[in-house]
Structure formats: structure tokens, C-alpha cells
Chain A
Amino acid sequence: MSLIQEEKNRQLQLDTRRHFLKTCTTGLGSMALASLVGCTTNSPIDVATAIKSIPNQLSHFAPKAKRVIFLHMAGAPSQLELFDYKPKLTQLHGEPCPLSFVEGKKFAFISGHPNLLGQQASFQQHGQSGAWISDLMPHLAKQADELCFLKAVHTDEFNHAPAQLMMHTGSPRLGKPSMGSWISYGLGSINENLPGYVVLVSGGKTPDAGKSIWGNGFLPSVYQGVQCRSKGDPVLYVSDPKGMSRSLRGKTIQAINDINKKEYEEFKDPEILTRISQYEMAFKMQVSVPEAMDISKEPASIHELYGTQPGKASFANNCLLARRLAERDVRFIQLFHWGWDAHGAAEEEALNGGFKTRCLETDQAIAGLIQDLKQRGMLEETLIVWGGEFGRTPMMENRDGVKMKYLGRDHQSQAFTMWMAGGGVKPGYTHGATDELGYSGVSGRVHVHDVQATILHTLGMNHEQLTYHFQGRNFRLTDVFGHVIKDVVA
């Protein structure tokens, strides 16, 4: 039996994760799937400590969703122009806001006593569920009965970077693992040839908090999100240099592995076997990644559905890519679209400017993604999450106490809207409500940690039991907080 076969046979014995990790701690420390499941660290004892409670980590309940597509609208879109219908606010447009909105409160830019800003869009009820959705999201409105709204989400942070970290790592400070990393760590990957956690970015810029929001924090780096890019190499360094053909690359890797096998015979270090497997996997990824990332062969009907144009970097293209990655069983797919920070300081960042463009860029694509997953029978096993890092104030922004040229709203951590759709959540449902001016939640308030707990729940994981031992204690995504939002769980 060749070494590689021997190695593969050993892998086959690892039929449960528990068994897998146990074996991992007692000497294998090396296997082909390792990069995705994370058994390749040279720190076996620590890993053993970290996963001591594995039997508890495995779900005691059947998962509803197999994977997550998280659509993060970076910069925080205004819920008051999209989903949170407040006719009273429009009636009182231009009036000074109630003093209670500002007294003793801190905002990023608003100062003094600002005026209320009426809703800059018109609202209608849609679908059987009668959800209020504004005319800025006409395509999405048609999918109203698929959506499960959280109308009164709140967070602790009112600046972008900390709030984005809060949303994705459960902590406003840098250095904690992201939700996708936690999920990869907890569940492993289903796909052998693609990373288990993929990030797609559009809008020309990375989110404010940078790559930390898909970082692995203190988890082993195999769990970090891999950014797939729509321009250049889809995964960094995946292309061979000009002049290197596929077959020659294959021969190079063969030569490397042949020599490494000899080395294994001499040194008997199992880490060498891991390296051999990883080079084989790299060779496979060179095909599987570009293949997954190539949307040019999708039929015209699909391009019409999403509004995609092959070869262009866009949010729509990323939505279609999300479906392709979902089909290939990537566990956690995270999309960031930049440019929602509508303060009104310039046209590009105004409710009556760039904000509308962002709606145009995303509306059809998101609706397309929902429909496409549905027609393929994948929606029920895929959880889609939409949201920003916080919401916007019902007050018009008056930076430095001065009226501004364009219309905008300041950051608001008290109440904002998120929605989910698909695997594990109730379709056509609304949870929570804000007061008549949309300033704070009056019922069904949920914290970002609750949202995270709920996402893990749909994947069959208890957020209190998904832990990692680090610096002398167990850490988890939701810190010491979070409750599953039972009302929205299907």
C-alpha cells in the first residue's frame, strides 16, 4: 500500500469528529482534510484541552441549515428608508426631535438638538405576510413571504469598526475569532477542494474593521475566512506563473511529493505526510477554485435573474458566486458590500444620493439569490442573513450643529432591522417593533449576540457549548451573553 493510500485509509476510519479529534491528539496530527477541519496544529495538547467537551459541542438537535450566506451591508443602511415604516416620523418631518432622544445620549456626529427627518421613501405592504417594504427594494418586496424580519435589533457600539467586530466576532475589540471561523471550527467543512469559509467583498473597499472580521482570532489559522476575489486570482497565488502548464505543475508537485515520501521514510515525521496531502490539495484547488468562481458559463436566464455581468466586480456577481459556493457545500459565505454610510455629508453618502445607488446595486441580486436557491431546493438548507452593523437615527444629521447639504442620518445602536431567510427560520414573519418614530425597540428587542446564538442554533449548535480553551479559560462567540430567538426559529 502506498503511503498516500495508507494515509487515506486512516482518514476513512475517522468517521466522527470526536473520533477524528481524539486520534488527532494521540499522534496522527496530519491528514489531508486537516486544513479544513483543523487538525494540523503542532499544538496537540492545547487543541486537546480546547476540545475536551466535544461531545457537548456536537448538536443534540438536528440542524435546520447546512450553511450560511451572510449579506453584510457595510456602513449600516437606514432601516427607516427600507423596512421600518413610520408614518408619524414623516408627519413630524422638520420638527425638533423629542429631547429624550438626545439627552444623555452619545452620537457619532449629531450635536445640539436635531430635527426629525421624515422617511425618504414610500412604503407598501407586500405578500400574504403584509410586510412593509419601501419602493427602494422593489424586487425584494416580491420575496416578502420568504423573509423573517428582526425589527428591533440593538448593539453596544455606534462606530463602524467596533460595531462590525461586534456583529461578526461578538466583541467590539479586535482579536476574537469571527462567526465563520467558529462555525468552521465547530462543524468542519463538507468540501474537500474548497475552503470552508469564503468571503466576497464588493463596493471597492474592504469593510472598516478590515480583515479582522473574517479573522480566526485565537483559533488556529486554518479556520480563517479565505477571501475570494472577483478580480485577479480568485484565491491569492492560486494561478501558476505564465509558462507553467497544468501538466507541468502536476509533475512538479509529483516530484516534490516523491522526494518528501523518501524523507518520510527516513524521518518518520507524520507532518511530512500532511505536507504531501496539502500539496495534492493545493493542486486540486487550482482547478476547483477558479471553476467555482467562474460565472461566465451560467445561462442567460440566471444572469437576468441576478442582474449579473460576467467579468465585472459587483455585489450581484458575488450573490451568484454565493450560490455557486453554496452548491459546492462551502459552509459559511460572507458578502460585504461597502458604501451604506449615509450621513449626508456628500452626495455619495446621502439618503438622496449614494444610498439609492446601493439599493439598486443590491435589490435585484438579493431577490435573485433567494429565488435561485428556492428553485434549486437549496433555500431550506441555507440560512441567508441580511443586515448592517447598526441602524440610523430618526433625526437628520447636523454635523457640528450645522444643517448639511444632503440628507442623512447618524449612527444608531438602539434599534435597527435585520432579516433572515431560508433554513431554520420562519418565512413571512416579523419579530419585534420599534416606537412610532423608529428610535428604539418597544417589543421583541434582540441583541446582536442573540442573532449570533440563533444563527448557530439553525446550524444545530448550542452557542453556550461551542467553546475554545484559550488563555486559561473557555471562550465563545457570544461571550457570556445571547439567547436563541425562539420566536423566529421554524
Chain B
Amino acid sequence: MRKHALQQSPFMKTIFVLGIILLCILLIPQCATVDNSISYNQHIRPIFNKKCLPCHGGVKQLGGFSLLFEEEAFAVTKSGKKALVSGSPEQSELYKRIIHHDPNERMPKDGDPLTDNEKELISEWIDQGAEWEEHWSYKLPSKQELPVVESDWPTADLDYFILEALQSMDLEPAIEADKETLVRRASLDLTGLPPSDDLITSYLANDSADAYEQMLDTLLASPHFGERWAAMWLDLARYADSRGYEKDAHRNIWRYRDWLIKALNDDMPFDQFTIEQLAGDLLPQPTVDQLLATAFHRNTMNNDEGGTEDEVFRTNSVIDRLNTTFEIWQGTTIACVQCHSHPYDPIRHEEFYEVMDLFNQTKDRDIVTERPTIYTFSEKSETEITELIDYIQTLDPSLSITQSDLLQDQIKHALFPILMPDHCDGSLNVDFSGSGIVTTWVQPPQSVKDKQFHFMFADIDVTDLTHISFAYSTPGDQARIEVRLDSINGPMLSEVNLPQAESNRWDINSFKTIRSETTNHTGKHNLFFHLINRTQQVPEGMMSIGSIELYYQNKHNSSSELSSQKDKLLALRATADRTPIMQALPKDYTRSTHVFERGNYSTLGQQVSASVPDAFVKGDAEEPTDRLSFAQWLVNKNNPLTARVIVNRFWEQIFGTGIIESVEDFGTQSLPASHPELLDHLAVVFMEDNQWSVKQLLKGILMSSTYRQSSKTNAVKQELDPFNRYLSRGARFRLTAEQIRDQALAVSGLLNDSIGGASVMPQQPQGVWQVVYNNQSWQTAEDDLKYRRGLYTYWKRTAPYPSMIAFDTPSREFCMSRRIRTNTPLQALVTLNDPVYLEAAAALAKLMKAAGQGDLEKAISAGYQRALVSEPDEDIVSVLKQLYHESEDEIQLNTATASTSTDLYDTEFILNDPMTVVANAILNLDGFLMKN
């Protein structure tokens, strides 16, 4: 019966014949339909999506009718009629209109009529009660029964699903790949590097039954595991060493990458991994590491171009954060909803802004200093600082230095009562310049008029406070400062009008100081500083504030010993390395979030409060109210999407294509799953059996017979499974940009495999960086630092490293879920001529000669074996041998008549060794560039 319906499907006539048959066969168990019933998801939704939703969906709801939500579909339309009446096609306006004889009345308007089969399906579906179904990915996954197959081939759960599908296509799995292939494949998959000599030797020599598993365990424990998977995550996190946009200045955020590598190496459970990155700052007493994790969402771009309005670009960043989060964890492309309800998925326009409200409450705001930042110190400075703080406390016992894990906070309290503005706990619309100045000089100047300038210091003791001293500069006499308690409109603590004090507004040393008396209050309060332009004159009422000092009765702020120690502390503080992080705004500063009408930032609609789209809330999951509860909601077992989406991402990395090919989109327009039950099964296993352990997930996949297949194919497999979607053979696809580089450096012995640290600049052609207004230049790293792994390459968004771009690395301006693999002549030019690859060839040639000890064939075999982890046959050796001899003849001639230097690189590579030519060829072989 099923088959019958399918055979009539018009899809059969398309080029997707094969895929559709398989898909439908595979979908059937999930849909759990009885034989003659019509399933909304399987039969009807595809028709509605394709033929109806463009006019009756989230964007347009012509005739007051939409098919996006159940309640809308069954509601009364504008004409007063019901489009769908359960059980009665004759009364359903929808059905009447699709079969209408008058082309002017018939739907789809201006389109081809539905096919007879489609009409029949819809009629039957309505007749059977028009039962609405949710899209599969919004339903919770459940563990699946293993398919029954007659074969002893399966070794892992997943094999049963794979084999069942293959058998239904009359395909047999491939034989197991040889050990050399497996060790190279597993090593590249798990560590991104070719296997070490030791690993190859021990694995090949190990005849025990669990030799393969032992080999995997070694790789899973390797410290390079974290690097390989960080490389994948960095595309999602849109990690870069620069800020993007016009100026694209340097950004110091590599400690996030270090955090990532460590978290992956430690196999931090994926739920914790999620929570720390999205909301580490909101965890109780967050550690430095947990705060560094939140740099994940500080990888958004920052626009430092003169004349750009910070609030516009802050808003862009917030929107990017929510788009990125939904893409990575929910496989949902929510970006459309910025302007209108989702055209195909059940997400309403205002729901976008409800999620935005969750992300709208952080302190960062597109300013040049990238505050808030976390300070990290060298070990030596850290010790010195701790000692200094202890000493300062003995000098002034009245200081209450809060015990905090964060050195940054301890320093802040030790420096009290000097309030350097970058210690402030909350601020809005105030520019903190690099020199620690608060200024109302913002761009564009006319925007000043609409702005309130204030900032807040939390928990300040005002008992016995006598006055506050400000260092300031202002060109006119219109500026005024008010200090209030506990809110912007709270009781006045102190107020002062600033007399004219024209000076360099960026030079704190040229500032004047003024004393502002305080009224009597006691206890600890939040102090709100309000910077007021009394007449709104520009620039007369603009001001800059340097330091703020609090003076107390009977306290000696200025004891010379104390102040000299504080100066020392300030100097040490200046040596800190600052990483941008997420920090929540204090309560008094929470932003109200409004719907942007048609997505336009300047047209505000209704106010909304934090929430998530209703369609995504399942079971007893509580709706999130802040970033932390949001992150917890994402990894709650009642979230239908997260585990599926994440498992699919790892699957795609291993097999080349996801079970859902569109790894970034699990919505109703997603591409159909190759093995839907398997996806659900893996998702539940990942959450329950593996307890979110990525290493266990990967081990489970790599232990399977499916993974261990040989990648050799044949005409039948090519015909029936041309893209290996059904895994009728082992995965065979080109390595990533990073893997190709790392592999060339590793097999030639050049690789510096140290882990972590700041980004480095390997060789790159001169003139690639030509950047407006920016004096940054490419400084090739010294010594073997230039041979570090690809993921440490300095990444400038507007001028990314060219040889990696050639191999499909994204520019990292936005989250990129998959790299579409291409195969181009420009790639050939990179591996043939990029000096990095030439130096690798020269180094490999040296190793070859050493191994050959005068025997050319031996040398060639050794080189080939090193690079491809397999022995070359006679033909290959003879081709390379011939190349060697031809090179011998030519090189002498060439170097004698070599043209003058092209001045392209810092150091010019000269080819003078025939073995290097052979090595260059080996490093360009298909078998080297591919995962086999």
C-alpha cells in the first residue's frame, strides 16, 4: 500500500528518484502510520510547504489564511469560510480551491495546479480527519529498536540501521579496510594529525582482539584530540583574532581557544560545555575558566569605524548571538524571524525578540576597549600581585578585600577608594577609553542629545564619606555631575557643576581636579554617577572624567606608603592580558527589548520579555528567563533538538555528510534524513548512555563496522549510492585546510606540536594584508613557531590566511556550520608552490635520503610510506624514480639560469634537490590530500 502511493508520486519522475524511494522507505517506521492512513508529515506537509506556504505562511497570510500553525490552519479565514473542515473535503475551502475549474479561482494562484495524486492525498487526509502533526524535529527523540538484520556484520548499534538500509537497496557493505588505512583514518579523525610512528608500529604489531580499540583509546587520550575538535568548533564560534568590519583591529581572545582545547581534551560533558560558553558568568562564583568560556559569544564583530553608532552594532552583535546559538544548538535558522514570522517554521515574529531579550542584557556594547574583559596575568605577576594585596591590607586594615577567586576583583578592592572607571560594575552609553577615561565625547556627535550618560559602582560604603574628587576636562561650563544612591533617581549624595577646564580630552595628566561635597548617609550603596550636559550644547557640555577618588573622615588615603604600594599594584595591573567576556548588566541597567517592526532597528514595536519559541518547549521543561536558564534549557533532555543537532555535527565530521545533510537546518525545509531512526537513537544514547561525553560518542561511531569499511567503490555502489549517503563504503573525502597543512608539516618532521597559546603568523605572501587605517603588519613567526598547527594561524577576518581560504575555510565573520568542499586549481597551486609546502617537501626529502642511505628506491618508498601510511607498489616507485632522474638533469640547469628573486616572501625558497621535487609530488598526491 505504501509502495503503491509512492509509485504514483510525481517526485518519482524527478532526478531524485532514488533518494526519495529510500527516504520514504526509511521514514515510514518513524511516522508510525497504519498502512492506509495519510500522514501529515510524510504526505501533506511537503505539498503545503512547496505549493502553499509562500502565500499562506509566516510572511504572507493572504486571505487571512496560514498553514504554519495548527490553530491558524483550522481557523475561519477572511472570507468567513473555513479552509479545513476535518472529515469533509467538500466543506473545506482549501480543497474546493485546489480543484476549482476556473483558473482565476484555483489555487495555487498563478502557479501550476496540484497533481491529481496531490489532490487525492489532500482529500483523503481531510477525509480521515485532517490530523495535524508536528514536524519531526520538534518531537522528542526516543531510543529505537535495533532493526533486525540477518548478518553478523554489525558490531555497533549504528551498524544495524546502516545495514538495513543497504540491504533494502540490494547493496552490501564494503570489506574492512586494512590496518594501515584504519590507523591513518582514525588518527586524522580524532587528532587531525597523521598517526605517529609509534602508534603505527604498535598497532600493526598488535594481534590482540581489541587492538583496534586500544588504538582508538590512545588517540582519544592524545592532547591533540582537543585541537582537532576545537578546529571544528572555531568555525561555529566564528573565532578570529580580529574584530571585523572596516578597521578589523586586533582582538585578544586566544584564551578562549585554549579553554576550548582543554575542555575537549578533558571531555567536559557537552551539557556543561554548553552552559559554560553561554552563561559561565552567571554560574555561582564563576572561575576564571568559566568566564573565559563566555568569550564564545564575544567573537561577534566590533565596528570601530569612525562615525558608526555603537548601539547599532551592539544590536547587530546581540542578533548574531541569538542566530548563532540557534544555528549551533537547535539547527534552526531563526534569522528570517528578525523581519517577519518564519516563512516555514513555527516561530512567530515576536518570539525572535523574546529570545533576543535573553541576550540583550550584557555589558558589552561595541566599544573600542571591548570591555568587559577579564584580566589574566603571568604566573610571576600573579604572585607579586597577591603579595602586594596582602601587604596593602596590613597597611590599611579598614580595607575589606572581598575573598574572590578572581584576582581582578581583589585588585579592584585593594585599590579602593581610587575608583578607576574600568572597575565600574555597570555602565551605559559611556565610553571607556583605553586610558581609563570616561567620556561623553561619542560619535556621531549629534547622537549625544538623545543619550543619558551614567555609570554605577556597586556596594560602596558611604559612612563617614566627606567628599569625592573628580579629575576632568570640559571645553565649556555646561557640564555637571550628580551622584545618587541606589538608582538613577535616588537620593542625591553629591552634585557639582564643572567649571571650564579645556585640555586634551584623552590625556588624563592634563585634567583638572574638583572637590564635590557629599551629604551624610551611612552603609553600603550602589553609587550612580550621572554626567549631565546642562544646556545640551555640543561640544560645550561634553566632558571627560579621569579618576574618581572617595575621601573619608579619619582615613588616610594619601599615606605615602599606601599610595606607593597602590601605584605598584596599578602598574602590575597594566601588564594584564585582557580577554573580552560576557557579563550580565546589573539589575538597575537591564534593557527593555522591543520588537523591531519589519526587523528595522529604528522602528520599535511592543515590548517583550525573555522566552523561547513555544514550538520548542516540550514536556516539563521550564521556560528560560535569563541566559543561564536558557543554556540549561538547551541541554535539558526535554529539548527536542540539541542532542540530534550535535550528534549530527559529529557524524558529518566523520562521514563527510550529516544524517541530515543540512546540519544547520532541522526545520521543515531541512533536507531529508538518510537514517532518521539512527539519528534519534544516537541522540538518546548521547544524552543517556554517554552522559553527553563527546569522546564516548566518537568512540561509539569509530568502533562500528560501518566506520571501518574500505573506501574503495565499484560501479554498482556508484550507481546506487553515488555520494555515499548510505555508507556502502568507508568515507573518502578531502581533508580540511588545517589537516592538510598539519599533515604536511607532521610527515616532514617540521611540525611544532606544542599546544595552546597566542596565534602565530606563518609564512604568507607579502602584500596580502593591505588594510585601511591599520598599521598592523604581518610579522612572520620566528623559528619553529611558524610551523605550529593550522588552528593557531592568526585569523584576520578581512584578510584571512590565503592558503587556507583556498581550501574552503570561512572568513569567520559569521557562524559557519559546514564547509562546502571544493576541488579547484587554486588548491593545486597552494600545495605545489606555497613555501610552507615547499619547505615541508625539502624536509621530507632529507628524511627520505636518510632512510634510503643511498638507495633511491628505498628513499622513495620511505617518503611515500611516511606520507600516506601505505607501501607504494612498483609502478608508483618507478614513476617517482623517473621524476627523480628527470629532476637531476634539469635542476642543475635551472639553478644556473634561475631568474632573479621575486621578493614575494620573507625568505625565498630555492629548489636545488631532486629529492625535494619527488617529495613535492608525494605531498600533492590524491591519496595524501584525502581521507581514505
Residues of B within 8 A of A411 (CB): 307
B893-932 vs A, Cβ < 8 Å mask (1 yes, 0 no): 1110011011110001111100001001100111101101
Residue of B nearest to A201 (CB): B770
Q: Which of A196-253 contact B (CB under 8 A)?
A: 201, 204-212, 215, 220-222, 226, 229, 231-233, 235-245, 247-249, 251-253
Q: Which of A1-41 contact B (CB under 8 A)?
A: 22, 25-27, 29-30, 34-35, 38, 40-41
Show 21 A/B contacts (Cβ-Cβ < 8 Å), sorted by A: A29-B722, A42-B820, A107-B307, A108-B306, A108-B308, A205-B771, A208-B772, A215-B811, A221-B805, A221-B824, A235-B826, A236-B768, A240-B832, A241-B833, A242-B901, A244-B894, A267-B711, A268-B715, A282-B826, A282-B832, A285-B829
CB distance from B445 to the nearest CB of A (A): 4
Residue of B nearest to A284 (CB): B825
**How many A-B residue contacts, CB cutoff 8 Å?**
321
B300-336 vs A, Cβ < 8 Å mask (1 yes, 0 no): 0101011111000000100000000001000001011
Residue of B nearest to A262 (CB): B875
Bound together, the chains give a CA A201 to CA B799 distance in angstroms of: 14
Residues of B within 8 A of A271 (CB): 732-734, 823, 926, 930
Q: Which of B770, B898, B911 contacts A204 (CB 8 A)?
A: B770
Residues of B within 8 A of A304 (CB): none
**What 8 A-B pairs have minimum CB-CB distances, sorted nearest first?**
A210-B798, A108-B307, A243-B911, A111-B445, A472-B669, A282-B828, A282-B825, A161-B246
Contact indicator B823/A243 (Cβ below 8 Å): no
A49 contacts chain B at the CB level, 8 A cutoff: yes
Contact indicator A251/B883 (Cβ below 8 Å): yes
B85 contacts chain A at the CB level, 8 A cutoff: no
B714 contacts chain A at the CB level, 8 A cutoff: yes
Bound together, the chains give a CA A243 to CA B916 distance in angstroms of: 11
Residue of A nearest to B711 (CB): A267
Q: Which of B444, B713, B802, B911 contacts A108 (CB 8 A)?
A: B444
Residues of B within 8 A of A251 (CB): 883, 886-887
Contact indicator B670/A472 (Cβ below 8 Å): yes
CB distance from A392 to the nearest CB of B (A): 14
Contact indicator B303/A161 (Cβ below 8 Å): yes
Contact indicator A268/B927 (Cβ below 8 Å): no
B742 contacts chain A at the CB level, 8 A cutoff: no
Q: Which of A48, A110, A240 contacts B833 (CB 8 A)?
A: A240
Residues of B within 8 A of A243 (CB): 891, 894-895, 898, 910-912
Residues of A within 8 A of B616 (CB): none
Contact surface of B with A, Cβ cutoff 8 Å: 15-16, 19, 244-246, 248, 301, 303, 305-309, 316, 327, 333, 335-336, 343-345, 441, 443-447, 538-539, 656-657, 661-662, 664-665, 667-671, 711-715, 718-719, 722-723, 725, 732-734, 765-768, 770-772, 797-800, 802-803, 805-806, 808, 811, 813-814, 818, 820-830, 832-835, 838, 875-876, 879-880, 882-883, 886-887, 890-891, 893-895, 898-899, 901-904, 908-912, 917, 920-921, 924-927, 929-930, 932
Contact indicator A109/B306 (Cβ below 8 Å): yes
A263-292 vs B, Cβ < 8 Å mask (1 yes, 0 no): 100111111101100110110011000000
A260 contacts chain B at the CB level, 8 A cutoff: yes
A360 contacts chain B at the CB level, 8 A cutoff: no
A445 contacts chain B at the CB level, 8 A cutoff: no
Residue of B nearest to A229 (CB): B767
Contact indicator A231/B767 (Cβ below 8 Å): yes
Bound together, the chains give a CA A206 to CA B797 distance in angstroms of: 13
Residues of B within 8 A of A26 (CB): 15, 722
Residues of A within 8 A of B893 (CB): 245
Q: Which of A205, A268, A278 contacts B827 (CB 8 A)?
A: A278
CB distance from A247 to the nearest CB of B (A): 7
CB distance from A373 to the nearest CB of B (A): 28
Contact indicator A338/B772 (Cβ below 8 Å): yes
Bound together, the chains give a CA A252 to CA B895 distance in angstroms of: 17
Contact indicator B770/A248 (Cβ below 8 Å): no
Contact indicator A241/B767 (Cβ below 8 Å): no
A159 contacts chain B at the CB level, 8 A cutoff: yes
Contact surface of A with B, Cβ cutoff 8 Å: 22, 25-27, 29-30, 34-35, 38, 40-46, 48-49, 102, 106-112, 158-162, 173-175, 201, 204-212, 215, 220-222, 226, 229, 231-233, 235-245, 247-249, 251-253, 255-256, 258-260, 262-263, 266-272, 274-275, 278-279, 281-282, 285-286, 338, 400-401, 411, 471-473
Bound together, the chains give a CA A389 to CA B208 distance in angstroms of: 68
Residue of B nearest to A260 (CB): B926
Q: Which of A162, A210, A245 contacts B771 (CB 8 A)?
A: A210
Bound together, the chains give a CA A40 to CA B767 distance in angstroms of: 30
Q: Which of A35, A161, A401 contacts B245 (CB 8 A)?
A: A161
CB distance from B167 to the nearest CB of A (A): 22
Residue of B nearest to A341 (CB): B772
Given A35-B822, A42-B733, decide whether A232 and B921 contact each other with a Cβ distance below 8 A.
no
Contact indicator B880/A255 (Cβ below 8 Å): yes
Given A159-B307, A268-B714, decide whether A281 and B925 contact each other with a Cβ distance below 8 A.
no
Bound together, the chains give a CA A125 to CA B768 distance in angstroms of: 43
Bound together, the chains give a CA A161 to CA B305 distance in angstroms of: 8
Contact indicator B656/A42 (Cβ below 8 Å): yes
Contact indicator B445/A400 (Cβ below 8 Å): yes
Contact indicator B671/A45 (Cβ below 8 Å): yes
Bound together, the chains give a CA A390 to CA B58 distance in angstroms of: 34
Q: Which of B248, B719, B911 contacts A242 (CB 8 A)?
A: B911
Given A242-B898, A267-B713, decide whether A42 and B904 contact each other with a Cβ distance below 8 A.
no
Known contacts A107-B444, A159-B307, A472-B668, then 13 further A-B pairs from the complex at CB < 8 Å, ordered by chain A residue: A236-B829, A237-B833, A240-B833, A247-B890, A251-B883, A251-B886, A259-B879, A259-B927, A263-B927, A275-B823, A281-B828, A472-B667, A473-B669
Contact indicator A242/B909 (Cβ below 8 Å): yes
Q: Which residue of A29, A46, A255, A281 has the most chain B CB atoms within 10 A of its CB atom?
A: A255
Contact indicator B539/A401 (Cβ below 8 Å): yes
Q: Which of B248, B661, B808, B829 contacts A237 (CB 8 A)?
A: B829
Residues of B within 8 A of A212 (CB): 797-798, 811, 813
Q: Which of A40, A161, A237 contacts B823 (CB 8 A)?
A: A40
CB distance from B236 to the nearest CB of A (A): 14
Given A46-B671, A232-B903, A262-B875, decide whether A211 and B799 contact each other with a Cβ distance below 8 A.
yes
Given A27-B718, A268-B714, decide whether A472 and B813 contact each other with a Cβ distance below 8 A.
no
CB distance from A383 to the nearest CB of B (A): 27
Contact indicator A255/B883 (Cβ below 8 Å): yes
Contact indicator A48/B15 (Cβ below 8 Å): yes
Q: Which of A35, A237, A239 contacts B824 (CB 8 A)?
A: A35
Q: Which of A205, A209, A278, A473 contacts B770 (CB 8 A)?
A: A205
